[in-house]
Amino acid sequence: MVIKKRNLSIAYGLLTVLAAQLFLVSAVYAGEFFSIKDGELERPTGYREWVYVGTPVTPNDMNNGKAAFPEFHNVYIDPKSWAHWKKTGEFSEGTILIKELVAVGSKAAVSGNGYFQGDFLGLEATIKSARHFPDEPGNWAYFSFSTPDHKSLKASAEAFPAEACNACHAAAAADDFVFTQYYPVLRSGKGTGEEATGGVSSSLE
């Protein structure tokens, strides 16, 4: 009886390990850092722990008080797609880039005058997926979770029509619809492997 109980608990233990492995495998195979339900992208989470690639800034005060995407744009790429980018120099199926909008909080610091980041203002995303967006140009779809008063975020968003976003990205972005020319981490990390991680080479590339 005792042995049976022990066997049973070993069996349970094994089952738990198997279930955990299955979950891991399915998470890896699915390989997606986003979730689309009923045609809408659910607001991605966890992106501040992805790979940070750069911060363009289009301050309102240089754009008649109303920049299309106000102020700082902190841009992140999911870690799996970053690994693919530094290896191949290409954006893989399932790439997601997040652009988090941040206000100019202050224009002076002890270091000098400038633009310093203030409060979060909004969230945009773009995803490359032939599986989800077979008809979008380049298979990229564009989303916004920002709200007009910039005080909260939407829980989900549907893709914009191609003329609203894809067209400008297609015409002016350096790499496959992505403005890598403004993201030093992606620009210098393109297909450079270990060098992409920083600090490996003594050059400033």
Binding residues for ligand HEC, rule: CB under 6 A, are: 56, 58, 69, 73, 75, 97, 99, 124-126, 142-144, 160, 164-165, 168-169, 178-179, 182
Q: How far is the CB of 126 from ligand HEC (least distance, A)?
A: 4
Closer to ligand HEC by CB, 94 or 110: give it: 94
Cα of first residue to Cα of last residue in the chain, in angstroms, is 68
Q: Give Cβ neighbours of residue 164 (< 8 Å, ≥ 6 apart).
A: 142
Q: Which is nearer to ligand HEC, 27 or 168 (CB)?
A: 168
Residue written as token pair 């290409």: 90
User: CB-wise, 101 or 196, nearer to ligand HEC?
Assistant: 101
Q: How far is the CB of 82 from ligand HEC (least distance, A)?
A: 13
Q: What is the closest distance, in whole angstroms, from the C-beta atom of residue 69 to ligand HEC in the complex?
A: 6
Which residues, listed in sequence order, are joined to residue 143 by a DSSP beta bridge? 125
Min separation Cβ 59 and ligand HEC, Å: 11
